[in-house]
Amino acid sequence: MKLIFLLITLFFLGCQTYQPSIQVLPPHIKTLAVKPFDNKTNIYGLEDLLRLEVNNELLKDGRFTITNNIENSDGYIGGEIMYYILQPISYGENFEPQQYKLRLIVNIYFVDRVNNLTLWKEPNLEEVLFFAAPTLPGGLTEEEAKRTIVSNLARKIYIRTIEGFGSVTGRSYKKVP
């Protein structure tokens, strides 16, 4: 009986879990650009804010040369901002909003300009932020919340670009309420 237990233990200790390889950018991509995002929302300036934040994330990495001209880049990030949804989720005793939920959903892709090939697409990449009303301690204004959620989403886009598929995941093609 001890022998069987020992064999089973050795078998399970010897088994490795499956780890897919990280899909990194091809070595010929040295210069990156961020294409201006299409803004399908009615929030003016959101596309510029997201582009600036993605550029900042890439600059902080330092491994790539960042350019504003897509024609001079080896690859670029592009996409469209699909939804910006601000919802009050709790109310005070006078029916004033106390807490909000902000959702930002984008479709993102990366194009290898050298080989004229789209390397990846990430549809419905979502970021959600819950925050208190600005009248409460630690609360945020909508503008502060917008900057926070865009910064968080830019970080996800950077990670998706540098660390590869599976590092962040968009939602399925379900309808957005």
For the chain, helix (H) and strand (E) counts, in that order, are 3, 6
**Structure pTM?**
0.80
State the pLDDT at residue 7.
Answer: 57
Q: Which residues, 6+ apart, have CB-to-CB distance to 83 below 8 Å?
A: 40, 41, 103, 104, 105, 176
CB atoms under 10 Å from CB of 127, counted, come to 20
State the pLDDT at residue 25.
Answer: 80
The model's pLDDT over 42-73, given as tens digits with 9 standing for 90+, comes to 999 999 999 999 999 999 988 899 999 999 99
Token pair listed for 21: 């390889």
Q: Which domains does the chain have, with CATH numbers?
A: 23-163 (3.30.160.150)
**Residue 156 and residue 109: Cα distance in Å, rounded?**
13
The model's pLDDT over 86-123, given as tens digits with 9 standing for 90+, comes to 999 999 988 999 999 999 999 999 999 999 999 889 99
Token pair listed for 10: 């050795």
**Residue 36 and residue 98: Cα distance in Å, rounded?**
35
